[in-house]
Structure 1
């Protein structure tokens, strides 16, 4: 009799925790399917893993052209033509109020949405308001804390440069050149703000900040010019991994590898390889997992576990992780463990012992 009761209780629990019919979620990719968008490829890889684990149908709408922000709005026509409509739409905020117009259209279609990865430009925040205020179908926003990223990267490069001064009893000053991204991207502006916080603390001389178009070619050209202009440079801070690829090529061409510490943003196969080769000294990143964590939030939301109530918020900035050459193997293995994690284990709906959602760029450690 006791065994029978236990079986009945288990059966009831299984029914209560059984997810609803498979969700249909559309992700608006900001790059072309045929273009090698290293960072966005990682975002989509994590998302697909999470979708598989949660038994969610994930569809991806790609751009047709490179760097055409307005294509996000054009994709709304594809969404509108879908039958049935997707249960949720996930997208990255784009500057110039592009994503504002996307939200307007999603609101008219009554399709809930979630923003991931990027940040809304500071001068546009007042137009958007917060999720669920102006746009009730805009459920939330999960993104990387870019101010913290810029600050943490500079601190790591400063430490790296100090530790290289083994010939001196005192630390030498740090002479920095910074290669930002495009001025229209809030990610770049916020990372620069974090860099300036470290500079303001002293012993760091910021010689020049120069914008780039985020490419390796521009990174190479502008690094060459900066090192010619400031030959005493011993730290190069870069806002993105493709810029860093150009910078490392430039210092190799100039024969300056031995006395310059260089760092960048984004965990990618290329930045990991550059760390292992000694071409980079510090990399901050991990925010490529925001889309996957966002899928968990939406899965639970669809199953009546609203993250706004569970986590007491609708905006979730994630601190970037740091990988340096001295702790490369251990930290790298930890980050790569996302590929082995069952994302369903992060669901509050599927795991009654969970009382909050998981927000971290590194996966939970086993045990």
Structure 2
């Protein structure tokens, strides 16, 4: 689960403020025999923020951010609803094909994830992959215009796609040109939301005197954050557990990092939690002293109405929904380039650059 969240939200792994990178990613998930869940879901995200959604229950592509409509032409939603409906049928066929190849039945998922990134240094990246049951299936190598099969069952599809190279060439063109153009457009219209900087609220929490001490940062934006513990100025590793970055219901994020240490140990040494947020130069520190700890025991009685507790619950639920929507995105997923594509301003742009996901 941690890998999924880190990938979906584009979280960095360094204790430094990384260069600003914007991303446009689309996630398609088909599921088989999953109770009470749509058979087909599409999620579009800019900088980790969901902007569009489609599922087989509603059968409508809908905006999740007001600014998306500013970038859309009048036919945007009807056109992309039609694209999604067409892809829904192909995905249904593909998951059946995959189950036959693997000689399986029951609950399974088939995914496609594609998208591009643009750094403030002008460097671009683009990826396109298939996935089956949360594992790599097939991925595009843009440099050679070939496909890489992750297992023997995917070789059949690889050989079919490599035969002409047309699909790979279409993807390369989309990822390196059209996708970047639309990413710039979305960022421009959504910059008030996407480029805002919100400092986190940081608290030290503990359930009982023998429980780990949790450094909880919440309400921050963007999602690029590092939360870590130091002892006498040196970062701690062995006694620290890092939680996932979760999204709050208002679009901001939260993250917790847990320190396992005895009261005697932290009282005799200087422990502090350090929070570093992308785009904000100064670190936020919280020194581990008794008066800073908020707890369920002793004179501070924190119950179910505690805002940090509620935030953790809300964040966990939202993260779960994101994971379900992109079930198995331990990778960049699926294959052909079209599916739910950014709406174009003409009939010769991204709309006609491909014909949606193809049968495997």
Higher-helix-fraction structure: 1
Same fold? TM cut 0.5? no
Greater RCO (CA < 8 Å, at least 6 residues apart):
2
TM-score (norm 2): 0.26
